[in-house]
A and B are shown apart, each in its own frame.
Chain A
Amino acid sequence: MDQLLYASEVFINGLMTGVMYSLVALGFVLIYKASGVFNYAQGVMALFAALTLVGIMNGQVPFAHLINAMFGTHLDKFGWTVPAVLAIVLTAGVMVLLAILIEKLVLKHLVGQEPIILFMATIGLAYFLEGLGDVMWGADIKTLDVGLPQGISDTVEQLTDSWFGYGFFIDRLDIWATIIAALLVTALVAFAQYTKQGRAMRAVADDHQAALSVGISLQFIWIMVWSIAGFVALVAGIMWGTKSGVQFSLSLIALKALPVLMLGGFTSIPGAIVGGLIIGVGEKMFEFWIGPMVGGATENWFAYVLALIFLVFRPQGLFGERIIERV
């Protein structure tokens, strides 16, 4: 009985973790769907967005370290702080600007290239953004607090305690992440289904050539998609950054999203969510049951192996578009 309770606790926490993975995976899916680009820089974008957010909130002087090194000044902070909501809006603006720059300077010149070339370009982008983020805001670990609660949820603990005699642990941040993820996905789906731009975006995703021929501006759609992905990166950055502080390792969460993508399919938004949940639950359950027998720390590879097993049966992922091959 105890084992069952523990297992269900692990199960629920796995679901919650899965939501956090999905948040990162969403950004990949959006860009891949609309432009066929596998955006390796998505993780670094999350880091960059979170760094910018903290920088704006704390009133840091951008490029302070560079300016100080060049001119021998002692710039550090402007001396004001910006409320979280305003800072998020401003950061979203920065991400839009970034999207425009990426389109103008990189993607525009690579229209019609093979996917692997575009993938490579995003690697270059990742290098560049990583350096830029550090030069702009410094390599310190920054505390991010936008007012999201953290820690065990007492309500859940007391409730489950009165039901089962064992209080479940659920992190309040995870509950918030779930709510925010649900809102985000609803908004994205509504946007894609009911707005003109959203429909144009889906048209581009289906067929670039056809979309162009009916007068949809590819350029605009790409900027839009990259902006949305930048915003998703910001949300992911806030969630993960709240937990661990904003620091370089934030860019590595992309690695957590890759098995989710494989499993859910690169082209499906519901796939990113369901994939995230399956990976989250799968790796937590495996670590719980099998982990102790093989020495633990299995989570990193188990997610990939799980996705691999799925793929052998469904090579396009759970929700991916069917691959039809013709000669």
Chain B
Amino acid sequence: MFYREAGDFKTSYRDDGQTFPIALDRWGYYAIVAVAALVVPFVINDYWASAILLPFLIYAIASIGLNILVGYAGQVSLGTGGFMAVGAYSVYKLMTAFPEISIIAHILLAGGMTALVGMAFGLPSLRIKGFYLAVATLAAQFFLVWLFNKVPWFYNNSASGQINAPERTVLGWAVTGPAATPAAKYLVCLAFVVFAAWIARNLTRGMFGRKWMAIRDMDIAAEIIGVNPLTAKLSAFGVSSFFVGIAGALLFAVYLGAAEVTEAFGINKSFLVLFMVIIGGLGSIFGSFAGAAFLVVLPVFLKNLLVGTFGWPTDLAAHFELMIVGALIIFFLIVEPHGLARLWRLVKEKLRLWPFPH
């Protein structure tokens, strides 16, 4: 009744092609961004920032990045953890080598660095496809982690091999280091999320996105109609790694503050981000957010519910948490194999017709 297109007239192509064609969606989006930027920073506390919002935002960036590669360009990658490590170590080296330059520039440069590495490891995708490619990207994962662990230059020869983020400020507010307030950290991550989503949305509906999708749907056919697989695949790897690198840089510098490559950027990270993308929905920006929320918020929620509310022993709760997450993944796949994003779209379709579906 309220959620509808009727009465919403478009008078230009520009209007017709916009991201949120329905007024209610558009206003909803503005409202969410406004609340996220103007209200949340004032009510946020350490727990909400560290346990839920920061990981959610950072993983959302990573899954947007991986979704471009897997969902739009159809190249399955399990090297995400390694690429995040490239971002983290680049930002660490830059932060410590050029302390006078803004951390924002460092994070963007770290993304660029990761894009280069990602493109290098994307080269085999020209020959290798499907699950073979997925496993081939694991070579990147294991090699990069080993490299960062082995070469002392990357961690500035520190005795333990851990990297620590020193304090850096944006407009006078500390965003890294222990003195950073949750609100400052949150706002930095939020800004990067909005930036990433905006770029990704506009790339995917433009020429690049169409090329990627053509490659995904059938690469030989795409080649015949004039899409160059080399540039299309490598650009997908580059753009995807750029976002993944930014996520890695934020994860280390803003969220964790200290990291060790084998623990923080191991193979589990690669799987985790891939799960987010698939559960959220392949080829959907909204899906990236939904997947990240599902896998970040749900475990915390279950833990607090089982341990905090029901008072279960922590180990039983942790085991049940695994079982419930596993069962929910299977349940969602059976109900809707195309991820949470498709479920959301179906809900909206229904809403448009509500309350008179016939």
A residues in contact (CB < 8 Å) with B: 38, 65-66, 69, 105-106, 109-110, 113-117, 119-121, 123-132, 134-135, 139, 255, 258-259, 261-262, 266, 294-295, 297-298, 300-301, 304-305, 307-308, 311-312, 315-317, 323, 325-327
Q: From A130, which residue of chain B is reached at the shortest CB distance?
A: B322
| Residue B305 CB within 8 A of the other chain | no
Known: A304-B138, A304-B142. A69 touches B327 (CB 8 A): no
CB <8 Å contact, A304 and B334: no
Chain A residues whose CB sits within 8 angstroms of the CB of B51 once the complex forms:
none
**B146 in complex: contacting residue of A134, A301, A311, CB < 8 Å:** A301
17 contacts between A and B (CB under 8 A): A106-B334, A115-B131, A117-B333, A123-B275, A124-B327, A127-B325, A127-B329, A131-B319, A131-B320, A135-B323, A258-B135, A259-B135, A304-B138, A307-B136, A311-B128, A311-B136, A327-B220
Interchain CA distance A129-B282 in the complex, whole Å: 25
Interchain CA distance A135-B322 in the complex, whole Å: 10
Chain B residues whose CB sits within 8 angstroms of the CB of A120 once the complex forms:
275, 278-279, 329, 333
Q: B210: shortest Cβ distance to chain A, in Å?
A: 18
What class of interface size applies to chain B in its complex with A? 35 or more
CB <8 Å contact, A128 and B146: no
CB <8 Å contact, B315 and A301: no
CB <8 Å contact, A117 and B136: no
Interchain CA distance A125-B275 in the complex, whole Å: 13
Q: B183: shortest Cβ distance to chain A, in Å?
A: 34
Interface centre among B128, B136, B325 (most CB of A within 10 A): B136
Chain A residues whose CB sits within 8 angstroms of the CB of B322 once the complex forms:
127-128, 130-131, 134
**A262 in complex: contacting residue of B136, B279, B320, B329, CB < 8 Å:** B136
> Would you list which residues of chain B between 258 and 287 have a CB under 8 Å from chain A?
267, 271, 275, 278-279, 282
Chain A residues whose CB sits within 8 angstroms of the CB of B150 once the complex forms:
294-295, 297
CB <8 Å contact, B146 and A300: yes
Q: From B221, which residue of chain A is reached at the shortest CB distance?
A: A327
Q: From B70, which residue of chain A is reached at the shortest CB distance?
A: A116
> Would you list which residues of chain B between 287 and 341 have a CB under 8 Å from chain A?
312-313, 315-316, 319-330, 333-334, 337-338
Interchain CA distance A20-B337 in the complex, whole Å: 35
**B124 in complex: contacting residue of A131, A311, A325, CB < 8 Å:** A311
Chain B residues whose CB sits within 8 angstroms of the CB of A38 once the complex forms:
131
What is the predominant secondary structure among interface residues of chain A facing chain B?
helix
CB <8 Å contact, A262 and B132: yes
Chain B residues whose CB sits within 8 angstroms of the CB of A131 once the complex forms:
319-324, 326
Q: From B136, which residue of chain A is reached at the shortest CB distance?
A: A308
CB <8 Å contact, B316 and A69: yes
CB <8 Å contact, A258 and B282: no
B residues in contact (CB < 8 Å) with A: 76, 124, 127-132, 135-136, 138-139, 141-143, 145-146, 150, 218, 220-221, 224, 267, 271, 275, 278-279, 282, 312-313, 315-316, 319-330, 333-334, 337-338
What is the predominant secondary structure among interface residues of chain B facing chain A?
helix
Q: A90: shortest Cβ distance to chain B, in Å?
A: 23
Q: From A304, which residue of chain B is reached at the shortest CB distance?
A: B139
Interchain CA distance A227-B55 in the complex, whole Å: 39
Interchain CA distance A300-B266 in the complex, whole Å: 12
CB <8 Å contact, A301 and B330: no
Q: From A129, which residue of chain B is reached at the shortest CB distance?
A: B326
Chain A residues whose CB sits within 8 angstroms of the CB of B282 once the complex forms:
116
Q: A87: shortest Cβ distance to chain B, in Å?
A: 23
Q: B350: shortest Cβ distance to chain A, in Å?
A: 22
CB <8 Å contact, B330 and A125: yes
Known: A308-B136, A312-B124. A266 touches B131 (CB 8 A): yes
CB <8 Å contact, B312 and A69: yes
CB <8 Å contact, B333 and A110: yes
Interchain CA distance A305-B135 in the complex, whole Å: 10
CB <8 Å contact, B146 and A316: no
Chain A residues whose CB sits within 8 angstroms of the CB of B141 once the complex forms:
304
Chain A residues whose CB sits within 8 angstroms of the CB of B326 once the complex forms:
123-131
Chain A residues whose CB sits within 8 angstroms of the CB of B131 once the complex forms:
38, 115, 119, 266
Q: A172: shortest Cβ distance to chain B, in Å?
A: 31
CB <8 Å contact, B127 and A261: no
Interchain CA distance A11-B60 in the complex, whole Å: 46
Interchain CA distance A116-B129 in the complex, whole Å: 13
Known: A124-B326, A131-B321. A116 touches B76 (CB 8 A): yes
Chain A residues whose CB sits within 8 angstroms of the CB of B320 once the complex forms:
131, 135
Known: A110-B333, A124-B330, A300-B142. A69 touches B313 (CB 8 A): yes
Interchain CA distance A297-B324 in the complex, whole Å: 36
Q: From B331, which residue of chain A is reached at the shortest CB distance?
A: A124
Interface centre among A114, A120, A298, A300 (most CB of B within 10 A): A120
Interchain CA distance A164-B131 in the complex, whole Å: 45
Interchain CA distance A127-B218 in the complex, whole Å: 32
CB <8 Å contact, B132 and A317: yes
